[in-house]
Amino acid sequence: MDQTKILIVGGSSGMGLALARRCLDEGLTVVIAGRGEARLSAAREELGRPAALETATVDISREDEVAALFEDIGWLDHIVSTAADIEGAYRLLPEVELSAAQRVVESKFYGPLLLAKHGAPRLPPTGSLTFVSGIAAYRPAPRGSVVAAVNAAIEGLVRALAVELAPIRVNAVSPGWVDTPIWQLVAGEKKNETLAAMAKRLPVGRVGRPEDIADALRFLIGNGFTTGTTLHVEGGHRLV
């Protein structure tokens, strides 16, 4: 297990950072990748600069950068992407800007597609790819049409890749509302108020934590009999 190597795209914050911390605690070698060197450096410091941690700068919407990333990394056992660029995406339809919608598609759909294309040849037969969709695919709300559509699309991609890339396993985690920095973009100053209102609605009585999603991602990475699956970790949100 101590030789296991995992790439976490989006590992500098939120769910990805929580997964990186857990994997490092278990003795895995971890590569966290993202677009910003400053955020990667901050994550490295937060994780205590362990010897088993590597960082890599990459824009996963650019195929040349994804190909170069895997050339640099070499062998891998597992690939995870929690990356999402949703800035400006939560708008009512008349206000949707195509450029913002394109950024969501590039980060949450094209990115995983390119990671699979260039990363799968680096994985062993026991390896896995794990992506992140989200509750918006099941409980869409006004202003969320773009995110809902892309979340649904990534789950379709997961099922198709699980067949095409077998025996490599391909899965997705679908989080509910999780208290991560992304909510500053979604709700701004009303973040805490918005999350508290949802907590009252959910059967579990709280919103998610990054560690909740890290647990689910870690399960999918480690369970050799799960593929083509979307694991829902949303506190019962689909029921209310």
b/e 142-172 (16+ beta carbons within 10 angstroms → b): eebbbbbbbbbbbbebbbebbeebeebbbbb
Beginning with the edge strand found earlier in the chain, give each strand of the sheet holding 5-9 in spatial order: 53-57, 29-34, 5-9, 78-81, 128-132, 169-175, 230-233
Q: Which of 12, 81, 133, 174 is catalytic?
A: 133
Active site residue 133: yes
Peptide bond into 203 cis (omega under 30): no
Question: Among residues 177, 131, 127, which one has the least CA distance to residue 154?
Answer: 131
Both structure tokens of 20: 């990186």
Q: Which residue has the tokens 């949303």?
A: 234
The single-letter code of the amino acid at 75 is: W
Both structure tokens of 55: 């960082």
Catalytic residue positions? Answer: 133
